[in-house]
Structure 1
Amino acid sequence: MIYIFLFLLGAMLGSFYNVLIYRIPRGMSIVKPPSHCPSCKTPIKWYNNIPIISYILLRGKCPNCSAKISIRYPLVEAFSGFLAVLSYYKWGFSITALGLYVFFSLLLVLSLIDWDTFSLPEPLMLGGTFLGVIISVFREDFSLYESLLGILAGALPFLLIYLYYKKVRKFEGLGFGDVELMALIGSWTGIWGVISAVFLGSLFGLLYVLPILIKHKSMNFAIPFGPFLALGCFVGVVFDGWRFYLTGF
């Protein structure tokens, strides 16, 4: 029953994450107006706003204007529910589980915003980094020292790369948002989370880009790096045994 409860709770929070993903890049309030159809602006009734279930019952369409509702909405809700269950399953009833659920949720929201807009909202990243430092004081598996060291290890190399492209090459080869994202990752997961984000994130990014390169035979396209860094960190934290194969400790 606890897993069912956590999944439902996570799905409800996922509904709020959808609001953040849609409204923050547009400079809209996350409180007002209430949830409404983006096409016809009709307020969504509570019984049409039940996570996952309403999408299925409405067959993915607005009940007022029949505009298509993106499949992303129920997927975000379902994934948020999965994250809640996963955090409890792996870290039990603990500050670590609660903290990492919040961290994974931040990565989910930031990744989708970055995917849509090629930008990462600074308030979420700076606030998330500060929260990561604060929570590190209370975690059983992590320390304030590891959090601060993780921020330095994550932000400094990316800052140097950013400055190199900006000052020497005279173009933005790496967004400053990625520098802040690596600081956020380091504050929650330390050096190993940073290594996972860079190593696995680069691997996932390469696997995504290769088919595009083969198909179009051109490099005249851009992809956001943030979602791949986030995915690499997530996989590295959840399956942290991979580091033992690399280092032996």
Structure 2
Amino acid sequence: MAFLDQNPGLGYPLAAGLGLLVGSFLNVVILRLPPRLEWQWKRDAREVLEQPDVYDPPPPGIVVERSHCPHCKRVLRWYENIPVLSYALQRGRCRGCGARISLQYPLVELLTMLLFLVCVWQFGFGWQGFGAMVFTGFLIALSGIDLRTQYLPDSLTLPLMWLGLVAASDNLYMPVKPALLGAMVGYLSLWSVWWLFKQLTGKEGMGHGDFKLLAAIGAWVGLKGILPTILVSSLVGAVVGSIWLAMKGRDRGTPIPFGPYLAIAGWIVFFWGGELIDAYLRWGLG
């Protein structure tokens, strides 16, 4: 790690390559995890309700099954799976059936690469930089899943929270106490808003996954980062959500996933929360 810190000309290309590879894997998680969870829920429900088993083959797994075209089901060869490059060489189309490949693939790969570069630029190539990459990867996967399905799976939010607390146990970014309080206050703050809204309107204004995601972010940004995360996510959500509704011609009653806004805000606060708080205090007191 010290060698990479002393030789950034080697370290940054390695981080960029790792980001592309991880981004390719995150695409698999975003696309395959929700169907796998739904399939498992149906199996569990039939077992609890004591219904007879039905033939229901599982969707492709996340690790074992090879990538394939979602249209013609043709298994992709290794040279068709090179992040970004394969998409560009194939002009965004399947080599077999010619169907258009979703732009999500190169976008997630490039986004992961860029954010991983920010991680090592901000924290270096040691454990802090690695932890920042882990945090970033989880947020990208959760944002992609929420955008597609409006669901934030416990199988991602809860490990992200525990990883933040484990990092705090070694004082990687902060001591344990601020991380624990951040997780607790993060969950309770959004839960309280949800509970009050439900009491007043009889409707649920957000999903429970949002509480858990903010708890997970709180374990990484600490207690002081919770309020900035909520404020930044609300601002980003108001701006981006309004633009999206206008572009789609939808009204304000249309459900909008809040997880990506929390993820964007949490990522910003994780890297620059101290600077944001200092700037706010200077502006507020000035």
Displacement of 1:214: 6.1
The answer as to whether partners of 2:167 and 2:173 remain within 8 angstroms in 1 is no
- For residues 245 and 73 of structure 2, what CA distance do their matches in structure 1 show? 40
Alpha carbons of structure 1 residues 157 and 5: separation in structure 2 relative to 1, 3 Å: same
Alignment of 1:38-187 (within 5 A): 38-187=70-219
Q: Residue 214 and residue 63 in structure 1: after superposition, are their counterparts in 2 closer, same or farther (change >3 A)?
A: closer
Q: Does 1:236 align with 2:269?
A: yes
Residues 126 and 184, structure 1, Cα contact 8 Å, conserved in 2: yes
2-structure distance, mates of 1:127, 1:190: 17
Any conservation in 1 of the 2:220–2:270 contact (CA below 8 Å)?
Answer: no
CA RMSD, aligned part only?
1.9
CA distance in 2, matches of 1:213, 1:47: 39
Match of 2:129, as an amino acid?
A
Deviation string for 1:66-93 (max 9, x for gaps)?
1111111111111111122111110112
User: How far apart are residue 168 of structure 1 and its match?
Assistant: 4.9
What TM-score, normalized to structure 2? 0.82
Larger Rg: 2
Shift of 1:166: 3.8
TM-score calculated relative to the size of structure 1: 0.93
1:23 alignment partner in structure 2: 32
Question: Does structure 2 retain, via aligned residues, the 8 Å contact 1:15–1:51?
Answer: yes
Deviates more, 1:108-117 or 1:87-96: 87-96
Calculate percent identity across the aligned residue pairs. 35
* Contact 1:95–1:138 (CA under 8 A) maintained in structure 2: no
Q: Which amino acid aligns with 1:189?
A: V
Partners in 2 of 1:17 and 1:6 — Cα distance? 16
Q: Is the 8 A contact 1:3 1:85 kept in 2?
A: yes
Q: Return closer, same or farther for 1:154/1:64 CA change in 2, 3 Å cut-off.
A: same
Is the 8 Å Cα contact of residues 154 and 183 (structure 1) preserved in structure 2? yes
The amino acid of 2:211's aligned partner reads V
Worse overlay, 28-37 or 198-207: 28-37
Rounded Cα–Cα distance in structure 1 between residues aligned with 2:243 and 2:230: 21
Worse-superposed segment, 119-128 or 131-140: 131-140
Q: What is the alpha-carbon distance in structure 1 between the residues aligned to residue 277 and residue 93 of structure 2?
A: 45
- For 1:94 and 1:194, the matched residues in 2 are separated by 26
1:213, distance to aligned residue in structure 2 (A): 6.0
Q: Does 1:206 align with 2:261?
A: no
Q: Which amino acid aligns with 2:146?
A: D
Letter matched to residue 239 of structure 2: L
Cα contact 1:95–1:139 (8 A) shared by 2: no
Matched, 1:2 2:11: yes
Give the gaps of 5 or more residues in structure 2. Answer: 1-9, 37-58
Cα distance in 1 for partners of 2:137, 2:82 equals 19
Change in CA separation of 1:22 and 1:159 when aligned onto 2, cut-off 3 Å: same
Count, aligned residues: 249
* Partner residue of 1:222 out of 255, 271, 276: 255
Alignment partner, residue 46 of structure 2: none
**1:43-75 Cα shifts (integer Å, max 9, x gaps):** 110011011111111111111111111111111
Q: Which ranges of structure 1 fall in alignment gaps of 5 or more residues?
A: none
Q: For the Cα contact (< 8 Å) 2:115–2:136, is it kept in 1?
A: yes
Q: Deviations over 1:184-242 (max 9, x none)?
A: 10011112332232111111111123345667583231211110111112222333312
With over 3 angstroms needed to count, the CA separation of the structure-2 counterparts of 1:221 and 1:48, relative to structure 1, is same
Aligned amino acid, residue 162 of structure 1: W
**Which residue is 2:220 aligned to?**
188
With over 3 angstroms needed to count, the CA separation of the structure-2 counterparts of 1:56 and 1:214, relative to structure 1, is: closer
